[in-house]
Every structure is written in C-alpha cells, then in structure tokens.
Amino acid sequence: MSNIKCDIKDIGLADEGRQRIEWAERDMPVLRMIRQRFEEEKPLAGVRLVACAHVTTETANLARALSAGGADAVLIASNPLSTQDDVAAALVKHYGVSVYAIKGESIETYVKHVSIALEHNPQLIIDDGSDVVATMLKDRPDLLPNIIGTTEETTTGITRLRAMAKDGRLSFPAIAVNDAQTKHFFDNRYGTGQSTLDGIIRATNILLAGRTVVVSGYGWCGKGVAMRARGMGSNVIVAEINPIKAIEAIMDGFRVMPIIEAAPLGDVFITVTGSRHVIDGTHFARMRDGAIVCNSGHFDLELNLTALKELSTDVRTVRPWVEEYKLQDGRRIMVLGEGRLVNLAAAEGHPASVMDMSFANQALSAEYLVKNKGILENRIHLLPEEVDLEIARIKLAAMNVSIDSQTPEMIEYMNSWQSGT
Ligand code: ADE
C-alpha cells in the first residue's frame, strides 16, 4: 500500500479481496486476453485516467487491464452502496490502484470522492452513470482541455450524455459502451436478470414460485428480470410507458397494465426504468401488506421513498438490506437496499461472465480513444462494429463453441440484388 492514495474501509481485507478477484478472472477470458496484450503494448502509457464504477471483483479485473496498459488510474465508487470493501483493499494493496470507495459511504463522501478523482486531472474518464463527467462540466470546466474522451457504461449515463450534447456541452468524444451489442444484450439482460433476483433472494430468502412480480420497465434490463422471474415460477406483470415495448411484453407472454393497477396485485415490485418516481405515494398506498419493493435501475429515485415515509408511522430494519415501512393502517412495505441497485447493494452485481464482455468494451474503448486522440468528433460514438464482433468471437472461442462461416456463394448472394423470385 505504502504510498498509494486511497480512502477505503479496511486494508486488512486485501487478501480476501484478491482471492475473489482471481475467482472472477477465471470467468473473464476476453478481458484477460486484453490485459495480456496491454502488458506488452502499453496503449495507455502514462494516461491519467479516472474510472467511476461499482467497485466489484469484475471492476478490479478491468482496473488490472487498464494498469497493465500503462494507465495512471484512480478508481472511485459509482454508487454509495455498491462497493465491495475487500476488493477496494486488494486493489490498493496488491494491484497498486488508488481507490476511493467505501460501502455505505454518505452522499457527502461520495461527492468528495468524485472531486478528489477530478484532482487527478484526468485525460480519460470511464464513467458509470455520468457523475464524473457531469461534475466536471459543472464544477471543473478548467479540466476540459486535457480530456481525450470518456466512456459510459450504463443506459442512464448515456441518457445524461445525450442531454449534455443537446445543451451543446459535449466538448469531447464519448463512447457509449452500453450501446455495444456485446454489452447490453448480455449485461443488461442476463446480468441484470440474474443479479436482481439474486439480490432479492439474498436480502429476503423468499420463495419466488407462485408470487406475483411486477416489473416496471421493459428495456433490456426489464426483459431480463421478467424472463428470470418467470423462470423461478412467478406470475409476472409488466408496466411500461412505451407502446412498442408494451406489445413486446404482451407477446413475450406477460400481463401488461399501468403500475397503479398492478399495485394491489404485486408481491414483489422491481423498477428498471431509468426514470423518476416510477413507484410513487399513490402506488405504495394501494399495495398489499408485506409487499416487497426494490430498484435495479441506476439511481435510487425510481422509488419515491420520501412519499412512502410520509405515509408511514414507523421505519425499521428487519434484516440486512430490508427496511420495513409501517403504514397508518398497519400494512407493511419492505424496501430493499434503500432503493439503490438491489443487485449490487444486497448481492454482488452481475456475474463475471457477462461483465467480461462489458469491460472488454471499456478497455478497448479507452485504447480507441487514445489511438484516435484529436481525430474523433465531439459527440457520442459507438465502438466500430468489428470490435464488437471480435469480442463476441473471443468469447465464443473461450466457451469452446464454433460457428458457421459464410461460403463464397452465400457472400455473393448477400451482396447482390439481381436474383429474386
Ligand atoms: N454493474 C452490474 N454488475 C456489475 C459488476 N459485477 N461489476 C461492475 N459493475 C456492475
């Protein structure tokens, strides 16, 4: 640790953290290959980098790849409740990464960590939710001339980047990692699907079979959650605002209705919309005694917990990550993980196997930004599709799966328009 700057819970947890980081690495073959190449080629040599991410075993493996590439990296938490303290300790002690992240940190500490990270005078920012980029624009515009570019991990962060672009504030290239096919098809769907149920089960130990689960939002995350809840034997209701996604949910076999109608029917409510106050006071007021409510969207404002508190006479913690709100008429509503991402607050986030592809995209986006320094337009970019396909090819090879390739006849046909009926 010696001279590595940090603000973490307990350096004594480092050995346990290293063991878990190595465990995750076994399921991250693509990122491992990138790390090995980065070790030789040093594509990020000397680049000052700030990464704002959930500090998990998977993120630790991303940090290892970035450091192997020569980056001078500082890592901060992207959520007050998602840090794994043993991982933070291992990164500092065993991998020489400067980390500012403590599970359960206050909002003040969270904000302080963002501003400490900005003191690093970053050239590259890897963001998850866009808090670092937004803070830089608001508080530290003096840093803008040094910025080579940023990458964004999540749907919510990209929504914020689009709003910045609309306001004419996006004065650097940004790569929408979330929009890569090897990211959202897998991380958002299978990752969120599994880890959200994992968080609910670890927090409550309830049986999902036979329960009514209400999923609010049918984007890639909502699709994954609804699919996995059905797989566990739940009756799933979907709430949506987008008519096309609503039809998708119907044709996937789910009941669709407004959240106000679903409120008295649900045993478990899960928000994955990216929006605000999706479950509000009027909905809480209609819920059954014992209803369980949680959020797996990026920010904690999907549930209006202020409104719930106003309806309640008492709030108490009944299990780790479970708060019981008692309403005036005696009904109780259980809120998991303080309304923050339940999969990271009450469980360990997405498994390594999907984060492998997400973080391969992150590492390759960092390299792409540096390689194309000064060339890319100041707007939101996708990584080239060939990179996406290459990540998928390596992943398939690691899974020991081979697939067909096109014959010359197929290629010719696919490139022609002459032959038809
Ligand atoms: N987001 C969701 N799951 C994650 C994980 N395991 N690591 C980092 N970010 C995540």
Give the integer Cα–Cα distance in Å for 73 and 56. 16
Same-domain pairing of 148 and 218: no
Same-domain pairing of 176 and 194: no
Same-domain pairing of 325 and 216: yes
Task: Give a yes or no: residue 420 inside a domain.
Answer: no
Same-domain pairing of 176 and 195: no
Read off the CATH number of the domain in which 177 is found: 3.40.50.1480
User: Tens digit of pLDDT for each residue in 228-284?
Assistant: 999 999 999 999 999 999 999 999 999 999 999 999 999 999 999 999 999 999 999
Q: Which pLDDT score, from 0 to 100, does residue 385 have? A: 96
Q: Is the pLDDT of residue 368 over 90?
A: yes
Same-domain pairing of 148 and 259: no
Task: Give a yes or no: residue 55 inside a domain.
Answer: yes
Q: How confident is the model at residue 2 (pLDDT cuts 50, 70, 90)?
A: low
Same-domain pairing of 336 and 221: yes
Task: Give a yes or no: residue 306 inside a domain.
Answer: yes
User: Tens digit of pLDDT for each residue in 179-230?
Assistant: 999 999 999 999 999 999 999 999 999 999 999 999 999 999 999 999 999 9
Mean pLDDT in residue range 71-89: 98
Same-domain pairing of 54 and 170: yes
Give the integer Cα–Cα distance in Å for 370 and 352. 26
Q: Which pLDDT score, from 0 to 100, does residue 421 have? A: 86
| Counted domains in the chain | 2
Mean pLDDT of the chain: 97
Residues of 61-98 as b/e, b for ≥16 C-beta within 10 angstroms? bbbbbbbbbbbbbbbbbbbbbbbbbbbbbbbbbbbebb
Q: Is the pLDDT of residue 31 over 60?
A: yes
Q: Is the pLDDT of residue 166 over 90?
A: yes
Q: How confident is the model at residue 419 (pLDDT cuts 50, 70, 90)?
A: confident
Task: Give a yes or no: residue 418 inside a domain.
Answer: no
Q: Which pLDDT score, from 0 to 100, does residue 55 have? A: 98
Q: For residue 90, give every residue at least 6 positions away whose Cβ sits within 8 Å of its Cβ, in sequence order, or none.
A: 13, 14, 15, 16, 17, 18, 20, 21, 60
Domain, as residue range, for 27: 11-183+350-398
Q: Which pLDDT score, from 0 to 100, does residue 3 have? A: 84
Instruction: Identify residue 259 by its one-letter amino acid code.
Output: I
Q: Is 126 helix (H, G, I), strand (E, B) or coil?
A: strand
Task: Give a yes or no: residue 78 inside a domain.
Answer: yes
Mean pLDDT in residue range 14-35: 98
Q: Are strands 322-327 and 312-319 parallel, antiparallel or unpaired?
A: antiparallel
Q: Which atom of ligand 1 is nearest to the CA of 349?
A: 3
Residues of 183-206 as b/e, b for ≥16 C-beta within 10 angstroms? bbbbbbbbbbbbbbbbbbebbbee
Q: Which atom of ligand 1 is nearest to the CA of 56?
A: 7
Same-domain pairing of 122 and 256: no
Same-domain pairing of 123 and 42: yes
Same-domain pairing of 140 and 87: yes
Domain boundary, last residue among 306, 321, 345: 345
Task: Give a yes or no: residue 393 inside a domain.
Answer: yes
Task: Give a yes or no: residue 232 inside a domain.
Answer: yes
Read off the CATH number of the domain in which 253 is found: 3.40.50.720
Ligand 1 centroid to residue 411 C-alpha, Å: 39
Q: How confident is the model at residue 420 (pLDDT cuts 50, 70, 90)?
A: confident
Same-domain pairing of 36 and 54: yes
Task: Give a yes or no: residue 205 inside a domain.
Answer: yes
Q: Which pLDDT score, from 0 to 100, does residue 251 have? A: 98
Residue 150's Cβ-side half-sphere holds a number of Cα atoms within 13 Å equal to 33
**For ligand 1, which residues put their CB under 6 angstroms from it?**
53-54, 56, 58-59, 191, 195, 344, 349-350, 355
User: Tens digit of pLDDT for each residue in 206-215?
Assistant: 999 999 999 9
User: Tens digit of pLDDT for each residue in 52-73?
Assistant: 999 999 999 999 999 999 999 9
Same-domain pairing of 237 and 336: yes
> Best mutation site among 54, 154, 359 for ligand 1, i.e. most ligand atoms within 8 A of its Cβ?
54
